[in-house]
Amino acid sequence: MSLDGVRARLKDWRRDYNEFRPHSAIGNKVPISLMNGSSAPPPT
């Protein structure tokens, strides 16, 4: 795997972790919702 390939996979993982995956430690919300001030429920 090339360095560019690793960077692309890391970017995808980071986006999934912060924008789509709910976290129980913050009330089953996605971290990006805290940054945006949104109280929207996590995506299903």
Kindly state the greatest CA–CA separation across the chain: 39
pLDDT of 40 above 80: no
pLDDT tens-digit map of 10-25 = 999 999 999 999 999 9
pLDDT at res. 38:
63
pLDDT of 9 above 70: yes
C-alpha 39/C-alpha 12 separation (Å) is 24
DSSP 6-17: HHHHHHHHHHHH
pLDDT of 5 above 60: yes
pTM beyond cutoff 0.75: no
